[in-house]
Amino acid sequence: MKKLSETLSELNIKFSFPIKIKDANGNTTYFEDSDGKWAKREYDVDGNETYYENSDGYWTKHEY
């Protein structure tokens, strides 16, 4: 997966670390630090984490 910081740099959009993206419910869906480590999460309608993936290649999926 391409890091968000790479895309922002290519588009010449200024940003600072850490990069955090949250959904409408305040859940962090993307996080990237200045070392290039990132994590992506997805949540169901009840706010339960249903998917997690990180830059180390670890991922998990949950069903509730």
- pLDDT tens digit sequence for 52-62: 999 999 999 99
pLDDT of the residue at 2: 87
pLDDT tens, residue by residue, 30-48: 999 999 999 999 999 999 9
Residue 1 in this model has a pLDDT that exceeds 90? no
In this prediction the pTM is: 0.87
φ/ψ of 53, rounded to 5, equals: -145, 145
Q: How does the average pLDDT of the chain come out, rounded? A: 96
